[in-house]
Structure formats: structure tokens, C-alpha cells
Amino acid sequence: MARLPGAGRLSRVLDDGLEGLEHNFVTARIENLVKWSRARSCWPATFGLACCAIEMMATGAAHYDLARYGMEVFRASPRQADLMIVAGRVSQKMAPVLRQIYDQMMEPKWVISMGVCASSGGMFNNYAIVQGIDQVVPVDVYAPGCPPGPETLMHAILTLHESILSGELTRRRDANDGGAGIDAGSGPEALAGRPVEILPR
């Protein structure tokens, strides 16, 4: 006698109850659905500062098509964005503005540091450039390169999606009270007292 397709699954459900069901949208936990929706609907804030911004714009164009990830809408208002892609070097005068925009974004929010200048100051090892934006905002994913191409940025975005789905980022934020613990103050003078180390040439 031939077995009907799916008979094994049906017998598992009859024997084990709901535990016998395979994981699907009906049996998923609300937490998993929320993580999935957060990962699939990141709306980036427009924060391009230098040449990396050209690559970020190319990533959002038709050839690379960020719409596949549900994030084709770059928002001009931080209150409508939950992902900040810092593309380019950040000057000391821009650091408080960066922090203010980050503080205005809705929770939970994520940060991608795009390019070597945003990640470590790059070739600009001087008093005017912040030597890594992790001094100002908590960074979730670093995209290396000078400038990183659209493929590298897309890889960083997919890495961020995986971290959101695993819940690792929200656990880390809860452990650190939700941020970098840095008060950028109300103007550039808030960062003026920070010591700057000048390396010999």
C-alpha cells in the first residue's frame, strides 16, 4: 500500500501535538517575527560625508538594487530611520552633529561604519578628524575599504541582518545601557577637551 505524501508529518503531529509541527509562521515566537521584520525593513538615514557616499549612492541605485532587502528608502529625517550608514571621514566639528542625529533616530537603531576613514580615521591622522566613529556612536558593523564598493556595503548590510536576527545586537545594547556612553554635548566644544595623540611620521 502506497503512503500518502506528508503522512509522516501528520503522524508526528498526531503523536507529539504542537511540538510535532515544523517551525513556520504559525508556530513562530513573536520575538522571532519581530526580529525578522526589523531585519527586513531597515531604513537608512542619509549621512554621506566624503567619497564613500558616492559608493553608498551607487548601492541604492538600480544596478545593485537595495530594494531586495526592503531598504531602498533613504530617509532625510532621522526620526524615520533606524540605520545610520556613516560614509566618510568625520571631523571634530561634525562629531556632535553625528551624535545628535543618532540620538534622534528611533529605537532599536543600528550603525554601519563605511570605509576606513569612518572606522579609524584612515590617512587623516590629525587633530581635525575623529579617529574612529566608535568614539561617538556605537558601531554594529564595519565595512572595510577605501572606498568600499557596493558589494562590500551589501555584505555589511547582510551581516547586520544576521546579527539582528540572532538577537546579539539587542543583548549587547542592553548590557551597555543602550549606547556608547559618550555625551557629545550641544556643540563642537564638547569634544574639544579630548586628548589627541599625534603619532610621529
What pLDDT score was predicted for residue 12?
Answer: 52
Residue 43 covered by a domain: yes
pLDDT tens figures, 95-125: 999 899 998 888 888 899 998 888 888 888 8
Please tell me the total count of domains within the chain: 1
pLDDT of residue 170: 64
Is 11 inside a domain boundary? no
Is 133 inside a domain boundary? Answer: yes
CATH number of the domain where residue 124 is located: 3.40.50.12280
How far apart are the C-alpha atoms of 99 and 132, rounded to whole Å? 13
- Give the mean model confidence (pLDDT) for residues 63-71: 82
Q: Which domain holds residue 180?
A: 29-190
**In contact, 90 and 188? CB cutoff 8 Å:** no
Domain contains 103: yes
The pLDDT value recorded for residue 200 is: 44
Residue 9 in domain: no
- Let me know if residue 197 belongs to a domain: no
Q: Which residue has the higher pLDDT, 106 or 184?
A: 106
The end-to-end CA distance of the chain, in Å, is: 83
Amino acid identity at 6? G
pLDDT of residue 36: 79
* Mean pLDDT lowest among 23-37, 96-110, 121-135: 23-37
Task: For the chain, give the percent of residues with pLDDT over 90.
Answer: 1
